[in-house]
A = this chain, B = another copy of it.
Amino acid sequence: MRAADTYGVSDGLPGYFDVAGAVRMGAAPTAAAGPGTAVSIPTGGMLPPGADAVVMVEYTQAVLDGTIEVIRPVAPGEGVVRADEDAAAGAELAPAGRPLRAQDLGMLAAAGLATVTVHARPLVTVFSTGDEVVPPETAELQPGQVRDATAAALAALISEAGGVPAAGGIIPDDAAVLETALRGALGGSDMIVISAGSSVGVRDETAAAVSHLGPPGIWCHGLAIKPGKPTLLAECAGVPVIGLPGNPRSALVVFRLIGMPVLRRVGGCTQAPAEPVLRARLDRDIASASGRLDVVQVRVSGQTASPVFGLSALLSVLTTADGYLIVPEDATGLDAGTEVDVTLYR
């Protein structure tokens, strides 16, 4: 109806309208509103010509066939969604630089954008190195062998960061073989990750192989992080290359802290995703050396965080933890009772 025709109406003094017709869902209105003339409309129907407001059916009553009384006034635009109210022509429907969320997809669909141009998922080739490393499906280990725990776990973190993991396989401790394998992967990969053998000298062999792959080469070799010190960061012919520590726990800690953000950038994500963080209170002291960032796994119960201590080689420290906290470089530890931010594993 016309809002102006409802001014001053009330329970005691209703306004009377002839009903000129009804709007059908999904169709153009066939009746028009006018002075003293209303049109029946379902929620979501198209506003008929002549009308500028909708009165809820609860505030009307049929008095005669084709006539209603209205007991509440409405303002112009009330009960109406303007055609440009959700998004005007020219409006940005979804920003670049972050994954499309469910509601973004809804908005794009509403605007008729059933396909959109997006960044490709980066392909990340994962190599494991070490004479002692054998595939996970190895049923019986020979003395001195370990199964490759890191590659499967890295694949999950790569997927979580929007990448596509590709298995580079297990490379023996031989710089020439490693260099050949890396060179073969360079053309088809958007990023390369090497979980390094941990034996003496192998670290340098990995660095040597990486340094031959192309400019600009190695950014840094060694980080002031625990666990994760023997980390290699490089860029070879435009491809980021990360050499991770040999033990699985250190490798996963470093990849989560450094590899995943790099990977997101490679995939066009400039806005870091929201992480589940819980504010909790430490239930015991944590020692830490100044000048080194410490990543400490914790179990969480209510608002209490309990550090999970254990050798850096132990994956169980990660599997039994609910999340981790960071002791910054300038701290020499955290006292029991300190409030900490725990980033929760999903």
CB of A64 closer than 8 Å to a CB of B: no
Contact residues, A99-124 vs B (CB, 8 A): 99-114
CB < 8 Å neighbour of A315 from B23, B27, B110, B141 = B110
Chain B nearest CB from A3 CB (Å) reads 17
CB of A252 closer than 8 Å to a CB of B: yes
* Interface-side segment among A12-20, A42-50, A218-226, A327-335: A42-50
Chain B nearest CB from A80 CB (Å) reads 9
A87–B316 CA distance with the chains assembled, in angstroms: 7
A311–B73 CA distance with the chains assembled, in angstroms: 19
Q: A131-B25, A173-B25 are in contact. Are A103 and B319 (CB under 8 A)?
A: yes
Total interface residues on A, CB under 8 Å, equals 91
Q: A46-B143, A143-B28 are in contact. Are A314 and B101 (CB under 8 A)?
A: no
CB of A4 closer than 8 Å to a CB of B: no
- Contact indicator A246/B44 (Cβ below 8 Å): yes
CB < 8 Å neighbour of A153 from B85, B106, B311 = B106
Residues in A lying within 8 Å of B, measured CB to CB: 23-29, 42-46, 57, 81, 85-87, 93-94, 99-114, 130-139, 141-157, 160, 173, 197-200, 246-248, 252, 273-279, 311, 313-316, 318-319, 322-323, 344-346
